[in-house]
């Protein structure tokens, strides 16, 4: 079928959008309309709010919202909200939390909270001349012309921390940056940072045009390319860690404490040196991080981008977690760059986000950073613990069992049969199908 483009799709009502999609792409099969409508909220006001979160919305896409209890973080016992569809993530996090609760729990340290943004511009001039202009005239003017924008943030203890001129001409001809650092306190701060940067761009353009030390030819070459925050925030970083005596590393799989510690450390070291393993290793960390990021109304795409850029900061992609087993002490930690907020955005709108933040004791942005790092560390501990003992499939596939059974329309009686059947076996897709056929043939 040759589909036709449409003008003004965004201006159509929700129903007309659905009608067009069904007519144009779904062979006029109205059963698809029922699929969309069954996920609408019965509360019209709540549904309208969800519709306005994004553009061209026609339904809601649900994800499971689970709870991982027993997290002892800096002396506080917390239950973490996790929005994620992947089998076993919440279970693994909960199991790791329980493992560490009687060993002192998780300890965290906020290393820094600095966020970054840049004004990118092209300017055919001598670098030393531009630097002199920046140091003696421009920097003060940039701070002065953003005072109205930063007033409220400064009253809360944040604001612009510094502005630097960065010479990037060795990498791109005539390319310079204004690199600004910010403290946005309890907000993620994207709109605040971008507003400041756009004002920097305006002020820079005006001041260059007025500056007598630049020739007209130089002024004509000046061009702002863009003003935008960076989601790479290597100076907005939190450390989460666990530690105990190796003799206390009791594992239910039956291997000795010493073997468990040795194999665990080897697994982390492999992720530190081998990018193929590090990618999957860090993906598991982000299972734990993203689930709480989504549940608290933050931007998991920014979180992912930052974490993976940080993992490659030394020129080779590597593990975000690290482990030592020195002097009879097992220590496992993560340094996670992460920029999140607890005010603004969805935090004031989405009911489940409000619930999540209330459940966590209405944390500050720094406290939420700590919680997120702990969630990632716990998830990684749980995954590595399985990998070096029983293997990952035993626990993962057991959680995945109901997904397989639901695909084949299993009854509750059949599901109970399979829970018993796989009590002492590793679940496999092939084995489920085979046993289901036998059961139904009987």
Q: Which of 183, 299, 398, 400 is catalytic?
A: 299
Note whether 73-112+237-390 and 115-229 share their fold.
no
Task: List the chain pLDDT tens, one digit each, 442 residues.
Answer: 688 899 999 999 999 999 999 999 999 999 999 999 999 999 999 999 999 999 999 999 999 999 999 999 999 999 999 999 998 999 999 999 999 999 999 999 999 999 999 999 999 999 999 999 999 999 999 999 999 999 999 999 999 999 999 999 999 999 999 999 999 999 999 999 999 999 999 999 999 999 999 999 999 999 999 999 999 999 999 999 999 999 999 877 789 999 999 999 999 999 999 999 999 999 999 999 999 999 999 999 999 999 999 999 999 999 999 999 999 999 999 999 999 999 988 888 999 999 999 999 999 999 999 999 999 999 999 999 999 998 756 555 555 677 788 888 888 887 788 777 777 667 777 778 888 888 788 7
Structure confidence by residue, pLDDT tens digits, 110-144: 999 999 999 999 999 999 999 999 999 999 999 99
Return all residues near 229 (Cβ < 8 A) that are at least 6 apart: 115, 116, 117, 118, 189, 190, 193, 194, 197
SS (H, E, C) 302-315: HHHHHHHHHHCCCC
| pLDDT the model gives residue 145 | 98
Q: Is 435 a catalytic residue?
A: no
| pLDDT the model gives residue 367 | 98
Domain boundaries, the chain: 15-62, 73-112+237-390, 115-229, 395-441
Q: Is 220 a catalytic residue?
A: no
Length of the chain: 442
* pTM summary value: 0.89
Closest CA to 267 of 383, 157, 384, 371: 384
Q: Is 431 a catalytic residue?
A: no
| pLDDT the model gives residue 399 | 58
Domain 115-229 sits in CATH at: 3.30.70.420
Q: Which of 95, 265, 281, 396 is catalytic?
A: 396
Structure confidence by residue, pLDDT tens digits, 54-96: 999 999 999 999 999 999 999 999 999 999 999 899 999 999 9
Q: Which of 132, 283, 316, 362 is catalytic?
A: 283
Strand partners for 336: 238
Q: Is 423 a catalytic residue?
A: no
Q: Which of 51, 86, 211, 259 is catalytic?
A: 86
Domain 73-112+237-390: top CATH class: alpha beta
């Amino acid at each position: 079928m040759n589909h036709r483009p449409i003008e003004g799709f965004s201006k159509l009502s929700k129903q007309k959008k659905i009608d067009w999609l069904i007519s144009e792409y779904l062979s006029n099969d109205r059963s698809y309309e029922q699929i969309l409508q069954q996920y609408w909220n019965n509360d019209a006001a709540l549904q309208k709010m969800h519709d306005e979160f994004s553009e061209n919305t026609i339904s809601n896409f649900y994800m499971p919202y689970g709870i991982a209890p027993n997290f002892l973080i800096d002396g506080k016992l917390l239950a973490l909200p996790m929005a994620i569809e992947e089998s076993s993530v919440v279970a693994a996090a909960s199991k790791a939390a329980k493992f560490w609760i009687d060993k002192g729990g998780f300890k965290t340290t906020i290393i820094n909270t600095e966020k970054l943004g840049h004004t990118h511009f092209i300017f055919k001039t001598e670098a030393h001349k531009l630097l002199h202009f920046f140091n003696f005239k421009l920097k003060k003017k940039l701070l002065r012309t953003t005072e109205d924008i930063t007033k409220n943030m400064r009253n809360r203890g944040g604001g612009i921390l510094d502005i630097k001129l960065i010479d990037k001409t060795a990498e791109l001809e005539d390319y310079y940056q204004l690199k600004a650092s910010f403290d946005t306190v309890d907000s993620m701060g994207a709109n605040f940072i971008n507003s400041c940067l756009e004002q920097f761009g305006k002020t820079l353009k005006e001041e260059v045009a007025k500056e007598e030390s630049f020739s007209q030819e130089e002024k004509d070459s000046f061009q702002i390319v863009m003003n935008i925050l960076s989601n790479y925030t290597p100076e907005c970083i939190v450390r989460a860690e666990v530690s105990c005596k190796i003799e206390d590393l009791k594992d239910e799989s039956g291997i000795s404490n010493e073997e468990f510690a040795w194999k665990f450390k080897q697994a982390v070291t492999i992720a530190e040196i081998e990018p193929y393993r590090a990618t999957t290793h860090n993906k598991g960390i982000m299972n734990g991080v993203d689930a709480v990021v989504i549940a608290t109304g933050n931007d998991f795409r920014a979180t992912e981008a930052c974490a993976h850029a940080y993992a490659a900061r030394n020129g080779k992609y590597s593990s975000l977690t690290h482990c030592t087993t020195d002097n009879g002490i097992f220590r496992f930690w993560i340094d996670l760059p992460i920029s999140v907020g607890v005010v603004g955005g969805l935090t004031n709108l989405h009911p489940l986000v409000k619930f999540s933040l209330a459940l966590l004791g209405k944390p500050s942005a720094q406290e939420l950073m700590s919680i997120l790092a702990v969630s990632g560390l716990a998830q990684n501990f749980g995954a590595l613990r399985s990998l070096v003992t029983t293997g990952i499939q035993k626990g993962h596939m057991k959680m995945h069992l109901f997904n397989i059974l639901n695909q084949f329309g299993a009854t509750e009686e059949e599901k109970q049969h399979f829970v018993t059947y796989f009590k002492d076996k590793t679940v496999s897709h092939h084995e489920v199908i085979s046993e289901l056929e036998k059961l139904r043939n009987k």
